[in-house]
Structure 1
Amino acid sequence: MIDLKIVRDDPEHARASQRARGADPGLVDALLVADDVRRAAVSRADTLRAEQKTLSKQVGKASPEDRPALLSRAKGLADEVKAAEAEQGDADEALRNAQFAIANLVEDGAPPGGENDFVTRELVGTPPAVTDPKDHLEIAAGLGAVDTERGAKVSGARFYFLTGIGAQLEFALVNLAMQQATDAGLTQVIAPALVKPEIMQGTGFLGAHSDEVYHLERDDLYLVGTSEVALAGMHGNEILAELPLRYAGFSSCFRREAGSYGKDTKGIIRVHWFDKVEMFSYVRADEAREEHERLLAWEREFMDKLEFAYRVIDVAAGDLGSSAARKYDIEAWFPSQGAYRELTSTSNCTTFQSRRLNIRTRGEKGNEPVATLNGTLCAAARTIACLLDHHQQPDGSVYVPAALRPFLGGRDVLTPR
């Protein structure tokens, strides 16, 4: 949740952030009203409890003649205290709901606008010149790497089997990503793919995009769309003694893709299930921007190892997730589409998630919320699709980048069956 003190001190800043996202700035005013109501309720309950404490002392010292009246007043006051505490509880919940309704404050410098209003930070590499390029499914068919027909037969649309070299490519990519993460000092984690509601809520995934999330009603558990969720919840309700903490989490990920409206229904670019290596950092709040650039640099390093031509974009405010104050995407070139397509992203969530999940560290003025950041290192299915598409050869074979070869038995090319 956003810092209530910032909203109190500078409500127009919060309203401007809402407008930049294309969200309702009136929610800021509703939050301020809820804050005033809650503070009044707390003051009333505190006053009544103080009066009750004073009256209790008076009863103990009262004469027999005065005691009945004081006891009667004490009974009435107890009822008032009970009612005031119930009112305070309602006000606490209303304030919490009002805070949860507002997305993170957009970082200064993030581009305004919607999905198509991103700003390109950098173009890297030269897109390969491919005559009559095939799409990744055509290449995969020749290699025997992907089977979407049987995936649909077993699980439905947008599911698939990775077979033969397809499965080997996933293991190779994940191992390459994990080796890089370990070399950079991140701790490897195999993260659970099922989380409790308070963890999913705490990371901000049960708001506007809750229709993207799979929910197991019988167990009241959620399937994660990214291991960011589990890695954020990993230190919930803790005071972190040493920072930074950096993890590289692997998990299967599940997304309904409810809002995709038929986009990328062919192939394995936009699917309901995939495996992913996700980086996650806990740092002090004043170090978050520097950490964001560090995560982006690690993502770029991985793209360079795969020898992709790509662009880095600064995502516009209206296209940010509710938890992110700033987000950078890396989009790699797909010759068959003649376009750059997203492969990774990294988000600075500032203290938004840690306030919800009660994750703090010791500061000069006491315990304070930490900043959390996340960055995709390798979304396996989409990266395989790009690898096949980007590095295709005229004879249907696929060039293997040098960094990946040690994880594929030294092969420098994948040849059709």
Structure 2
Amino acid sequence: MIDLRLLRENPETVRASQRARGESESAVDALLTADESRRHAVAHFEGLRAEQKVLGKQVATAKGEEKTALLARTKELSAEVKAADAAVTEAEVALRAAQFAVPNIVEGAPPGGEDDYIVLREVGEKQPLGLDHLELGEKLGAIDMERGAKVSGSRFYFLTGPGALLQLALLQLGMNQAVEYGFTAMITPSLVKPESMEGTGFLGAHASEIYHLPADDLYLVGTSEVALAGYHRDEILDVTTPKRYAGWSSCYRREAGSYGKDTRGIIRVHQFDKVEMFSYVALEQAAEEHLRLLAWEEELLGKLELSYRVIDVAAGDLGSSAVRKFDCEAWVPSQQQYREVTSTSNCTTFQARRLNIRHRDEEGKTQPVATLNGTLATTRMLVPLLEQHQQPDGTVRVPKALQPFLGGRETL
């Protein structure tokens, strides 16, 4: 959630962010009203409590009719205090709901929607049209969509033989790189409590994409970002140097509203695996850390010898927690277009405020930390790996960086 002090001092900044996102400014006005109502309710309650304390002292020394009158007022005041306390609770619930309705404040992202991104750079050459990843995967015995659908339904699949080994190699390469740069390797839970899902901002506009288990009130994560953010909930951290984790997990997405899109192959599926980078830093370090995460993503794409581009995602296409996001999109020859394979977001203090994760500043005061996330390796990368490295004889070349994880194998 956003900083209420910033909202009070400069509400136009928040309204401008809403406009950039293409969202209504009415949520800002509703939050201002809820904030004022809560502060008024608290002031009223505290005034009554102060009067109650004064009366208590007066009753102790009063006599006769004065004491009788004071006792009568004490009884009235007790009821008023109880009602005022309930009003504060109600106002706090309303304020929390209003805060959760306002996304993070955009910083530096271009305005507009999904198609208004800015291309920052293109790396490598665009390969000509060739077999798509599913044709290649089936011929290599690497992907089995038919049996995936038979066992689990549409948009499920088996990675078999070389496909399974290639994914394991990819994820191991990503994890090894992360550890080399000081990340702590993590195998994270796939099921999380509502507090973690809500705290990371995934129960808002995109709640329909999440699998929920009502009997246990648990959610299947769509990224280990959720578990890694919840890992330090209600803690005070030392972020003198950034605290970095690399989470390996299976991820699950319902892909609600995407029916008919990318139904062929493994570009848009319900289950996949991913190594996700996650950083906790002081707010003033967040922008610099964001660029570091992007650089590490690009380094891995370079090791995979993939052609790709980097885009600065427009405000209207940001998740509610992000102030800015960079995507790396790999070239997919069969589609003759770029497709997203990594994404890194700067969430500033938005998630930490919800999850109560803080650090101590130079004066010893507690402040919310900033959180950032970035994909390092994921199942979808198999698509450009197969397509960009296909050879005329039907084999697929294995990039040198992956060969040690595949027993030295140079081709699939």
TM tier, smaller: over 0.9
1:9 aligns with 2:14: no
* SS of residue paired to 1:398: coil
Following superposition, the deviation at residue 384 of structure 1 comes to 1.1
Instruction: Report the equivalent of 1:291.
Output: 289
1:121 aligns with 120
Counterpart residue number, 2:345: 347
Tell me the distance in 1 between the aligned counterparts of 2:152 and 2:69.
Answer: 74
Query: Which residue in the other structure is 2:187 paired with?
Result: 190
Tell me the CA shift for residue 69 of structure 1.
Answer: 2.0
Amino acid at match of 2:376: L
Supply the AA of the counterpart residue of 2:232. Answer: H
Candidates 143, 150, 156, aligned match of 1:159: 156
Please state whether the residue corresponding to 1:258 is helix, strand or coil.
coil
Once the 2 structures are TM-superposed, how far is the Cα of residue 395 of structure 1 from its aligned partner? Answer: 1.5
Higher mean C-alpha displacement, 120-129 vs 318-327: 120-129
Q: Aligned match of 1:402 in 400, 403, 406?
A: 400
Provide Cα deviations, 1:273-299, integer angstroms capped at 9, x if missing partner.
Answer: 001000000000010000000000000
- Per the alignment, residue 96 of structure 1 pairs with 96
Pairwise CA distance, 1:66: 2.8
* C-alpha distance in structure 2 between counterparts of 1:28 and 1:15, whole Å: 6
| % same residue | 65
Looking at structure 1, the residues matched to 66 and 150 of structure 2 have their Cα atoms a distance apart, in angstroms, of 84
Deviation at 1:364, TM superposition (A): 3.2
Give distance in 1, aligned partners of 2:407 and 2:245.
28
Using the TM superposition, give the Cα deviation of residue 409 of structure 1 relative to its aligned residue in structure 2, in angstroms: 0.6
Are 2:373 and 1:371 equivalent residues in the alignment? Answer: no
Opposite residue 344 of structure 1, the aligned amino acid is T
Corresponding residue for residue 237 of structure 2: 240
CA distance in 2, matches of 1:310, 1:299: 11
For the pair 1:274 / 2:249, whether they are aligned, the reply is no
What is the rounded CA distance, in whole Å, between the counterparts of 1:373 and 1:259 in structure 2?
27
- AA aligned to 2:324 is R
Is 2:38 the counterpart of 1:41? no
Structure 1 residue matching 2:393: 3-state secondary structure: coil
- C-alpha separation in 2, matches of 1:393 and 1:192: 39
Distance 1:10 1:279 in 2: 33
Over residues 349-382 of structure 1, what are the superposed CA-to-partner deviations in whole Å (9 max), with x where a residue is unaligned?
00000000000000135100000000000112x1
Farther off after superposition, 172-181 or 360-369: 360-369
Amino acid at match of 1:412: E
- Tell me the CA shift for residue 260 of structure 1: 1.4
Name the CA distance, whole Å, in 1 between partners of 2:9 and 2:272: 43
Give the one of 177, 186, 198 matched to 1:201: 198
Q: CA deviation at 1:140?
A: 0.5
Match of 1:57 in 2: 57
Question: In structure 2, what is the Cα distance between the partners aligned to 1:65 and 1:8?
Answer: 48
Q: Does 1:149 align with 2:174?
A: no
**1:262 Cα shift?**
1.1
Q: Is residue 2:318 matched to residue 1:330?
A: no
Q: Find the aligned partners of 1:254 and 1:75 in 2 and give their Cα distance.
A: 57
Shift of 1:65: 4.2
Q: Does 1:24 align with 2:10?
A: no
TM-score (norm 2): 0.98
Question: What is the root-mean-square deviation of aligned Cα atoms in Å?
Answer: 0.9
Query: Which piece of structure 1 moves more, 336-345 or 358-367?
Result: 358-367
Letter of the 2:334 counterpart: S
- Residues 41-86 of structure 1, C-alpha deviations (whole Å, 9 max, x = no match): 1110000000000001111111244322211211110000000011
Q: Give the Cα–Cα distance (whole angstroms) in 2 for the partners of residues 309 and 364 of structure 1.
A: 44
Q: Deviations over 1:314-365 (max 9, x none)?
A: 0000000000000000000111111111000000000000000000000135
Residues 140-167 of structure 1: CA deviation (Å, up to 9, x unaligned): 0111001111111111100011110111
Structure 2: distance between partners of 1:407 and 1:94: 53
| Counterpart in the other structure of 2:67 | 67
Quote the Cα distance in structure 1 between the aligned partners of 2:65 and 2:257. 74
2:339 is the counterpart of 1:319:
no
Aligned length: 410
Query: For structure 1, which runs of at least 5 residues remain unmatched after alignment?
Result: none
- What is the aligned partner in structure 2 of residue 83 from structure 1? 83
Alignment of 1:231 onto 2:228:
yes
Q: Secondary structure at the match of 1:402?
A: coil
- Residues 250-279 of structure 1, C-alpha deviations (whole Å, 9 max, x = no match): 111000001213111110110000010000
| Alpha-carbon distance in 2 for matches of 1:354, 1:386 | 35
